[in-house]
Amino acid sequence: MNSHRRVKTVCALLGALAAGGAAHADVRIGFSGPLSGPQAVVGQDQADGFALALEQLGGKLGGQATTVIKEDDQLKPEIGVQIVRKFLERDRVDAIVGLGYSNVLMATLRRLSESGVPAIATSAGPSPMAGSQCAANVFSVSFQNDGFGEAIGKLMQEKGYKNVYLMAPNYQAGKDMLAGFKRFYKGTVAEEVYTQVNQADYSAEITQLQSSKADALFMFYTGGMGVNFTKQLSQSGMVGKLPVYSTFTVDGANLPALRESAVGVVSGNMWDATLENAENARFVKTFIAKYQRVPSAYAATGYDAANLLDVAVRKVNGKVTDKPAFVAAVKAAGNEFKSVRGPFKFNTNNLPIQDYYAFEMVKDDGQIRGKLIATPLKDHKDAYYSACALK
């Protein structure tokens, strides 16, 4: 064979390998999330949780060397779409993790579904994805958005509140959270207020809240939104006078910035650093040692996603290019890996069946932490799975 023909043959072989998805031996994971701007703490905690688990696994998933490609979606759906296209077409990843907030996830959902590549959300579970727009290869290892609102709605109903004020940012997760609350709370809604995503000043809304006849507040604000709103609410003197319940507003991601402003707030979550189980104790200890901060629920879901994928990759003996087999392995791994949150398994719609807890923020030995006060929902299934065609 002459040199010209040899070069052509080698190039053809490499092209065929790339087309077949076997141009790399490593497992390639694409991670996307908000890594800049007011919500950067949310994306960074997911990335750090995933990285910690991968480090504990020796840099391998299922015994296979693993490469992680990180991208910043900036909380913008149009950028999320570009990132997913890059992951699938240029990076040729074997799985995608993170997938941003619900607004970003919903913008990419159709492309993800069509790709057949396992996609694992670690900070969102929008209601359409849980119901009629579910897909066999799209999972949430975090939650269905409504679950937290449902848990706090149930708790506030049981506590006898008659007139509750509701607040959330105006996007899919905010709407889901308040819908979940109203599904279980049967009292009067004093007002239902939606604010702009990434809004910084809430003085007008807090003034409106002060003039209301509400006997309690339920709010959903994450990252920088949660810090700004809670600080301004505390400065107004409302915290301590008006019972304040929340989801994701007060947790490990925001406590360093909130500190005293968080004391007294009750927060609904599926995880907290104070949960007592062996996996969580190890996770919290090693996360603090590595990153010098207490992890948030976002870090916990990132950590869980890596451990879930470790089981799944092992189940297919590293043959992650067989997409249907890999997807089936991810689904099965949901019943096998040990979650830091305690009980966990995937429902038929690929969203979690899990417990939802309520924690009160208290000051203990000079530290602000969550104190478990209730488990309003146990082994909870979301309200949308029956609309999903998956079985």
- Average pLDDT (270-289) is 95
DSSP class per residue in 157-187: HHHT--EEEEEEESSHHHHHHHHHHHHH--S
Question: Cα(232)–Cα(345) distance, rounded to whole angstroms?
Answer: 38
What are the tens digits of pLDDT across the range 77-90? 999 999 999 999 99
CA nearest neighbour of 36 among 68, 76, 67: 76
Helix (H) or strand (E) holding 189: strand 188-195
Right CATH for 9-143+276-346 from 1.10.3720.10, 2.30.29.30, 3.40.50.2300, 3.30.420.40: 3.40.50.2300
CA nearest neighbour of 202 among 228, 222, 239, 174: 228
Greater confidence (360 vs 301) lies with: 301
What is the chain's length?
Answer: 391
Q: Domain 146-269+355-385: what homologous superfamily?
A: Response regulator (3.40.50.2300)
DSSP class per residue in 70-117: EEE-TT-HHHHHHHHHHHHHTS--SEEEE--SHHHHHHHHHHHHHH--
Distance of CA 279 to the CA centre of its chain: 19
- The pLDDT assigned to 333 comes to 98
Non-local (6+) Cβ contacts of 237 within 8 A are: none
- Average pLDDT (317-334) is 98
Q: Strand pairing of 367-380 and 352-364?
A: antiparallel
Instruction: Indicate the range of 16-20, 103-107, 118-122 predicted with least confidence.
Output: 16-20
Its pTM stands at 0.86
Domain with CATH 3.40.50.2300 in the chain: 9-143+276-346, 146-269+355-385
What are the tens digits of pLDDT across the range 169-215? 999 889 999 999 999 999 999 999 999 998 999 999 999 999 998 99
Task: Look up tokens 């996609």; give the residue.
Answer: 119
Question: Cα(222)–Cα(174) distance, rounded to whole angstroms?
Answer: 10
What are the tens digits of pLDDT across the range 26-61? 999 999 999 999 889 899 999 999 999 999 999 999
Q: Write b or e for each residue in 334-350: b if 16 or more Cβ atoms lie within 10 A of its Cβ, otherwise e.
A: beebebbbbebebbebb
